[in-house]
Structure 1
């Protein structure tokens, strides 16, 4: 793989460091990436995969000689078309970024100016490079068409808020390709999208890469996704390369234990448990709407969950999954129906619920960043429910906090850290520990593993299953990931536009015959099989009347 002639990108023995500022200690340098080398040819895609903190995005950004958040490249070489960009100075980087190398981030919404039309932003870099506006707009329209955007000749006249999330992500891909770069860095471009949109964007990206002949780095934590678009895959851990090989070799014959673990995580299949005893949760004909709306966003939802079981609620963005969670927790009082919990009818509003109601029904949110006080330490965050519900203080509270940290595989020393000092996965684990601290009967998990790397997510799912076995706790698990559903669910409810369109035992819901919407959801989850995306693209072309 190092014998490629005239590679677009060549990284040699890369070393990247940052400065850490531990509380009460002197600043110290830490190594983020150590000794990574790779070579990428024109028209090829290399996938970078690994757990949170493995260095994927840091390596990807190094191809533009960029280090965010104080990160700095301290060793090695980064050659683009044979030129070491680390030695080119500011002028050299200005010529490189946006022309030779471009970047597609995870969040398209945060990458567009809401006050400017899409076309003006997509062609901005091309204009800065001296391309005539008419030519730049023609390139953009051709890319809009290639990427499957509706009304490609006029969609550029819209503002970012006037298109869907999937369309905006494809527009961002068009913005990266419009200057006709030689290398594009895709940093988790489908992670933030709902399940029915992910495959559309993934297919569009794959076709665009193939048709333009651009080289690409594709960064993700999902091995099933990266297998669909990459020629080669580099597996990373703790800033070092674990394994590098073709997509076929990594998927079917990984050489290293860590790579084998990544592959096997996608194949976990939890044995469905039968319902035993009384239902811990009964949702009876619940309807709800948000203030100011003239229509219900939940429409006569009826579900039941037994103690010790897990109910997975699946559906696309806007289907009502998280709204249902808000109603159950009392954050959004319903305008019809009732909720029974532990044999008693819950007050519709949070204010009317007892302390015991609050303790026994906990929720873990998707966005850990906004669910924690940044000014409190991890110990204080986890310790709050211990003190509030059980009156634990002093040494007893510290002991229990450490036990909870051990359960979520975060050892000594984390209790004194602040959220800003944690990775995304670590932040979510702290939120999980906080919920577990209350010893609840039911935990509502709202996409709690979507931000985690596969192995950490697998560990969290195993932790939740072990707790369920020991304590009889029930879970209402909101997710879009079929692998997660298979790993944890006993029952599944499929939601669409505020209604439950299918529910029952997991094995029943995941078995044909399917209704059209459930079939769409299941077909939108990438499989751990090479060539799967090509088959999807071919079928969709046939359905559209193409060749």
Structure 2
């Protein structure tokens, strides 16, 4: 963040006459039929200067989204605003009628939600939806609104800004849809924009593009914004000031630099500490030599669609993938959406058939067909899905949820099952009282612990963890990571840990596999994946992980999103490097002509790349702020 922005934010915050938003004594309560009201937000005071970006940060349940929504005079179902004042400019939001609130929302105050997919109607063209707010509020004619939309598409760095509006939501990527939702919010030139976790569901590489686009537009139009997040590293790139919340109360308010580098409140200190997970110092029980690996994946190929005459699926998702997991070991699999990570887990779990290759469990063949697996094989390999909300039946009690696998795998019923449920809850650090609660009543972190307890109920040898922390806030995610490590030490269970977060995969994994477009482009132990040289794609992932300091976003954009050197036409060989179109180190006449060979680096990592170890290290350690000649890799 520039010194100019920080200076502007400080001056504006100290001058109340420049405030656009003024909130005093805000109180929000929640209620259920037959129960007393529960206070969700307690007497909150804050202000936002014109042109300032204020971040609301805290764990799930801290009240940050509830507070942000109150700026539009809105409270979610079961909640209501019961006290305090909310002013947007000269407008007293709480005194507005229903019609007055309609005029405020989408016109003077705009909202950018976490899930762009849920914000768009899949059956309508993008342009019609983006300009809808301008049409409703009558701020622009249809022609002018369409011209304004194209201007916003260009400012948000969307491809083909003149024509992208003709597409439908399913025809654009998740990152593009998130930016299109921003255009929808900004079409009316609102005075205040609320960004509610707008990059949480995105890959780290896509997140850079979206954050850069959001910040560019905020600066270009001089907007006032509220940025809601649980991620301090992301907030560091966007906010002038930060309000830290927990349990519906403000714990600390300060300039971004102060919050990041000199937090005063213990809760803020815990948030800062949780940004970078601590790498476990415990040695893995897995050994390179000894008994057969717990699980081996040999030359696995899998995909979707009709099969060709040779038996290959129309759409290949995994291509010739090898992987080994030993007892008591964690193997991390990292890559962007579409890299094949979840497909790999599904094939191992028997939820998706293999098109080619072999699975071995303790050295014995394991069928890729679920119907040909034994109950014992089901028991030994369990999967924990990404979204506990959809993996758990919200009306079932925790006890009922855990009792089912206990009966299926171990024949436990009645009192024996209840005792084992209590033991499982203790294992995942949940109170025994949770047993009688429905899973729908639990917090996100509690649901994921129940999800994990259900897998543990089978007493498995291997748990497939598919993005189990991506939907959790930073502090809760760090606690789940600690829990996984503790369970591994107690039970000797192995994990396949799937994520797109390089910090988390380094924190828990013994070995790491980097996937890109269905190929294993790099494999190495945790130490090898902690410092260059890397495969060029691994370097992109590492460089895209937000750092806890202002100014990182500008450096990352230069480092990760440079204009690529021209390269000759590909001969369409499917065996060529899949990363070729995005690789800043590609070599004309080599990378677009021959398949890369597997190369073993001095640190033990194996990479699929034409570049030598010296070339990779030179490129990946050269400072990006030198002149163009110095930045160019040495061939």
TM-score (norm 1): 0.95
CA distance in 2, matches of 1:84, 1:294: 59
SS of the aligned residue for 1:125 comes to: helix
Separation in 2, partners of 1:6, 1:412 = 52
What SS is found at the alignment partner of 2:546? coil
**Equivalent in the alignment of 2:25:** 13
Deviation at 1:60, TM superposition (A): 0.9
2:538 to 513, 518, 524: 518
Gap change, CA 1:136 and 1:431, over 3 Å in 2: same
Query: Deviations 1:154-182 (Å, cap 9, x if unpaired)?
Result: 11111111111111100001111111001
231, 239, 247: which one aligns with 1:238: 247
Taking the aligned partners of 1:43 and 1:494, their CA distance within structure 2 comes to: 41
Match of 1:126 in 2: 134
Cα distance in 2 for partners of 1:262, 1:91 equals 40
Contact 1:270 1:486 in 2 (8 A): no
What does 1:88-487 align with in structure 2 at a 5 Å threshold? 88-130=96-138, 131-267=140-276, 268-271=278-281, 273=283, 275-276=286-287, 277-278=290-291, 279-292=293-306, 293-487=313-507
Report the equivalent of 1:69. 77
Q: Relative contact order, CA 8 A, sep 6+: which one is greater? A: 1
Residues 364 and 448, structure 1, Cα contact 8 Å, conserved in 2: yes
Native 8 Å contact 1:425 1:451 kept in 2: no
Deviates more, 1:349-358 or 1:1-10: 1-10
**Cα deviation per residue 1:213-270 (whole Å; 9 max; x = unaligned)?**
1111111111111111111111111111111111111110111111111111123223
Kindly provide the CA deviation profile for residues 381-404 of structure 1, in whole angstroms up to 9, marking residues without a partner as x: 122222222222223322322232
Q: Distance in 2 between matches of 1:226 and 1:464?
A: 27
SS at match of 1:5: helix
| Residue deviations 1:259-308 (CA, integer Å, cap 9, x gap) | 11111112322347454143211111111112435132111110111111
Structure 1 residue 539: deviation in Å?
Answer: 5.2
SS at match of 1:297: strand
Deviation readout 1:308-365 (Å, 9 max, x if unpaired): 1111111111110000000000111201111112332212112211222111111000
Contact in 1 for aligned 2:62/2:245 (Cα 8 Å): yes
Q: Please, what is the CA RMSD of the aligned residues?
A: 1.9
CA contact (8 A) 1:272 1:506 kept: no
In structure 1, distance between residues paired with 2:427 and 2:95: 47
CA distance in 1, matches of 2:192, 2:372: 57
Q: Give the deviation of 1:541 after TM superposition.
A: 7.9
Cα distance change on mapping 1:541 and 1:307 into 2, 3 Å: closer
Measured after TM superposition, the shift of residue 133 of structure 1 is: 1.9
Stretch of structure 1 that moved more, 496-505 or 429-438: 429-438
Q: CA deviation at 1:88?
A: 1.2
> In structure 2, what is the Cα distance between the partners aligned to 1:247 and 1:500?
39
Task: Give me the whole-angstrom Cα distance separating, in 2, the residues matched to 1:57 and 1:286.
Answer: 44
Give the whole-Å Cα distance in 2 for the aligned partners of 1:20 and 1:342.
52
Greater CA deviation, 459-468 or 343-352? 343-352
How many Å apart are 1:542 and its aligned residue? Answer: 6.6
Instruction: Assess, with a 3 A threshold, how the Cα gap between structure 1 residues 541 and 415 changes in structure 2: closer, same or farther.
Output: closer
| 2:59 maps to which of 48, 51, 54 | 51
Output aligned runs, 1:529-540, within 5 Å.
529-538=549-558
Offset from partner CA, 1:41-91 (integer Å, 9 cap, x none): 111111111111111111111110111222111111111113220111112
- CA-CA distance at 1:195 after TM superposition: 2.7
Contact 2:86-2:93 within 8 A present in 1 as well? yes
User: Could you say if the C-alpha distance between residues 88 and 544 of structure 1 is closer, same or farther in structure 2, counting changes exceeding 3 Å?
Assistant: farther
SS across alignment from 2:418: helix
Count the aligned residue pairs: 542
SS of match in other structure, 1:527: coil
Q: CA 1:436/1:542 → structure 2, altered by over 3 Å: closer, same or farther? A: closer
Q: Match of 2:304, SS?
A: coil
Residues 1:339 and 1:47: Cα distance change in structure 2 (over 3 Å): same
Instruction: Find the structure with the greater CA-based Rg.
Output: 2
Moved more, 374-383 or 358-367: 374-383
* Distance in 1 of aligned mates of 2:545 and 2:418: 42
Alignment deviations for residues 181-220 of structure 1 (CA, whole Å, 9 cap, x no partner): 0111111111112232111101111111111111111111
Instruction: Answer yes or no: is the 8 Å Cα contact 2:540–2:560 preserved in 1.
Output: no
TM-score (norm 2): 0.82
Checking the alignment, whether the CA contact within 8 Å between 2:427 and 2:487 is kept in structure 1 is no
Within 1, Cα distance between the matches of 2:561 and 2:220? 16
* Contact in 2 for aligned 1:49/1:220 (Cα 8 Å): yes
Q: What secondary structure is seen at the aligned counterpart in 2 of 1:526?
A: coil
Partner secondary structure for residue 314 of structure 2: coil
